[in-house]
Structure 1
């Protein structure tokens, strides 16, 4: 996750005081775990990475198994659990799990589509003490309902935000931009202010890309740049106004170098200080500071790697699986710098972005370490040229995955 607002608030403070603030990032010993506790969902969204449907799935972790895993996660130094699905509110014991997570001292988030949250459910969520609830919106009403394949889904999710706000639960919007919903982004950002949401999570699409392209002319990459410019401007205005609203992004760590370019243009005196902060951030954290456990207990480097199984918590503790670098992907992800190739290998910003999102390269070429086709920076901006590649075999399963 790239915390745009955090850096904008630091820049605003620097502008006000004349000194860039000293900030010490405290990295936890263990990763943040996004935990898909259930695969069942009341929706069948077009872009679901879990391919969920409204029926039960056999073999999911039972409550005692969940508690055993939580004990191991706590001992391993995991700071936060993001409870996801499917639709996590369909799991009958979700509040038992969340209560124990809070008792154990985990930062506990809930990732939901929001359609099941009425006033009573909002009260239960508030009483459970969730630190944060993220509700996915794919656009305004027509767009969202089309993505979610349910007429009225937008109205129900929007109502959920209001119910949660009334009972004092911190709630935010989660949005993944595609060619089909990018036109709704400005209105969604306005909507955030209107409905009492205090966080906007912008997710880039994790896709198998378009080949060896000219990024400075590619329409998709130009749309991405325009979206990031919009987010930067909104976050900067909020920071200058003293607002604590958060704008964050995910699934494309080119956002770090792109913010550095924004600062070079608008606040050049703080470029060097921000560069040091971004290097300390460290870029893509898959296999390092972000992890995923699916509904069957299988561990993955993050939620976008469901097709790559590192092991099951029923067979070995998560802590052992996570530290095992006999898996070639995990061995490379944990390296610094990673063994990336092509543009990524020659990029002047590698220390900031850490090679970006490896799943896109793997899905396109079959090579974990090839350049990320989702990087929207030009060859001139990264200081390296694209490298020709052989496309993945036709039989390779291409996945388009976004958020829960």
Structure 2
């Protein structure tokens, strides 16, 4: 199913009045194949017809394009809120007034450090010009924010920057990491190390708690770190919000200067261009099922390293796609700049080479319900020990981390040794159900239940739950009745646990 797109980034020009040392696009002069005003305005109408809610106009430097305000105005006319990312150099009172008249929602200005560092990275005098542009925009009634790109060169400045921005009246601040692409490839040695991602997240969390400036983490920063989740929840105004994977081609897309449509403007190689609006309507490009397949069909089993088996892999899908490409060198590379990935990698370094010690570590992780680490410990042990205990622990860890195909393989090994192994049948049944091989799964759960010894009601419990979740209520009631008859000592407890089922 193709989702309704919500937002987009549109690089309206490749022209730029700066030569930033960390620019991901290496922008200089406008290119001859940029969309004409007429083409751009038609695209605005198509964006409205597609039901877009927001769009970010960027570049290059969008204000170097003379008709930027006409584009913004046409977007507003078609029900799409235009936001702008600018370096602020050209923003005057007149420009701010034009933005307000065009219905611009938010203008984000890039500020990458205190004055000396910012001017070094961008252009002498740019910090002062950007600071003044914030005032012009606020005076015009436009919401503003600041975006900071972080490398090792300005990481330790964040505290001072925060105080300066608060003094300047900045109310919103987005943090993102510099990635080794474009101009920044020449400075890739200043890319943050995996260990420094938590430094940024910790800073954002502490800033959030202070509540003096609203802070946001860009999509390239995360994931599944408690503090990072709290920051996202605060900014989203939703206590259940968390990272759900790259939205490219799912809820968002990018528009290049010439009308090429991509999933993300940072991922622009020819093989990722899904069409061009000069040749095909935006609606047809978006709705073509084979388009954006690299992300629409992304699954964690296509990823590598820790990402391939990660507990959160089915939600996260490896985090930011551009991070994997620019740092890992491949769309399916492991995302080593993920907070959770780094935590797991650090823990994996503690795993012993001694088999007995490693077994003890696996047992300890199991007691702690740290199934991620049980999985990695068992993965190392399995070549040396295929005992029933190890296979069962490994299968449990595979199931609990969502690695259902692996869980099936491991339970099959258990059942090859003992076809009536109750735990193996139960585990196989549950994993098959997760893989939507429902009838096979139920058959194994049924067999496990029938073979379960007195007092061991887990197979029946799982069998009932699966049937209940499938909406097969009458079957679930019948299985509950059989369980109570077979395990009389547990009958009352089963009745209490499945009280809702009994009452239906």
TM-score class normalised by the smaller sequence: 0.7 to 0.9
The answer to whether structure 1 residue 180 and structure 2 residue 145 are counterparts is no
Taking a change above 3 Å as real, the CA distance of residues 188 and 259 of structure 1, as seen in their structure-2 partners, is same
Cα distance in 2 for residues equivalent to 1:154 and 1:61: 31
Residues 335, 125 of structure 1: alpha-carbon distance in 2 compared, 3 angstrom cutoff: same
Distance 1:35 1:325 in 2: 22
Residues 28 and 77 in structure 1, CA contact (< 8 A), matched pair in contact too: no
User: Is 1:205 paired with 2:169?
Assistant: no
**Alpha-carbon distance, 1:261 to partner:** 7.6
Contact kept? 1:115, 1:153, Cα under 8 Å: yes
1:206–1:251 contact (8 Å) kept in structure 2: no
Aligned to 1:47: 22
Higher relative contact order (CA 8 A, sep 6+): 1
- In the alignment, which residue of structure 2 is the partner of 1:398? none
The aligned counterpart of 2:167 is: 194
Q: Does residue 1:369 correspond to 2:369, yes or no?
A: no
Q: So what's the TM-score if we normalise by structure 2?
A: 0.60
| SS of aligned partner of 2:147 | strand
Partner residue of 1:230?
A: 203
What corresponds to 1:99 in structure 2?
73
Distance 1:165 1:255, change over 3 A: farther
Distance 2:230 2:49 in 1: 41
Q: 1:90 Cα deviation (Å)?
A: 1.1
Q: Deviations over 1:127-150 (max 9, x none)?
A: 2221100000111111111111x2
- Rounded to whole Å, the distance in 2 between the matches of 1:189 and 1:353 is 29
Structure 1: runs of 5 or more not aligned: 1-26, 209-217, 264-272, 388-404
Sort the Cα spacing of 1:367 and 1:124 in 2 relative to 1 into closer, same or farther, 3 A.
closer
User: What does residue range 61-210 of structure 1 map to in structure 2 within 5 Å?
Assistant: 61-148=35-122, 150-207=123-180
What residue in structure 2 maps to residue 36 of structure 1? 11
For 1:302 and 1:261, how far apart are their aligned partners in 2?
23
Report the Cα offset of residue 98 of structure 1.
Answer: 0.9
SS at match of 1:304: coil
Select 1:309's aligned residue among 262, 273, 277.
273
Q: Is the 8 A contact 2:10 2:257 kept in 1?
A: yes
* Greater C-alpha radius of gyration: 2
Q: Is contact 1:170-1:197 (8 Å) kept?
A: no
C-alpha separation in 1, matches of 2:219 and 2:228: 18
Deviations, residues 346-396 of structure 1 (Å, cap 9, x unaligned):
1112244332122333345553212113223322496576x9xxxxxxxxx
- Rounded Cα–Cα distance in structure 1 between residues aligned with 2:106 and 2:253: 18
Aligned to 2:227: 259
Does the residue aligned with 1:183 lie in a helix, a strand or coil?
helix
Q: Deviations over 1:267-307 (max 9, x none)?
A: xxxxxx95x532xx523212222211011111121121022
Which is further off, 371-380 or 113-122? 371-380
Tell me how far 1:253 sits from its aligned partner.
5.1
The C-alpha deviation readout for 1:40-86, integer Å capped at 9, x for no partner, is 01111112122111x33101001111122222222222211111111
Q: RMSD between aligned alpha carbons?
A: 2.8
Residue 207 of structure 1 deviates from its aligned partner by 3.6
Of 330, 343, 357, 1:378 maps to 343
- Matching of residue 277 in structure 1 with residue 245 in structure 2: no
Given that 1:253 and 1:353 are in contact with CA atoms closer than 8 Å, whether structure 2 keeps it comes out as no
How far apart are the structure 2 equivalents of 1:28 and 1:194? 42
Residue 336 of structure 1 deviates from its aligned partner by: 6.3
Kept after mapping to 2: 8 A contact 1:60/1:295: yes
Q: Distance in 1 between matches of 2:228 and 2:55?
A: 30
Report the secondary structure of 2:333's partner residue: coil
Aligned to 1:249: 217
The verdict on how the C-alpha distance between 1:119 and 1:71 changes in structure 2, with shifts beyond 3 A counting, is closer
Cα distance in 1 between the residues matched to 2:229 and 2:31: 46
Query: 1:253, 1:284 within 8 Å by CA — same for their partners in 2?
Result: no
Structure 2 residue corresponding to 1:293, chosen from 241, 255, 265: 255
Do the aligned residues in 2 keep the contact of 1:207 with 1:374 (CA within 8 Å)? no
> How far 1:151 moved relative to its partner?
0.9
- Asked if 2 retains the 8 angstrom alpha-carbon contact of 1:145 and 1:152, the reply is yes
Aligned residue pairs total: 331
**Gapped runs of 5+ residues in structure 2?**
182-190, 232-237, 348-369, 380-504
Can you list the C-alpha shifts for 1:240-265, whole angstroms capped at 9, x where unaligned?
xxx7x5311113252443436879xx
Structure 2 distance, partners of 1:227, 1:159, is 27
Aligned equivalent of 2:453: none
CA distance in 2, matches of 1:357, 1:40: 26
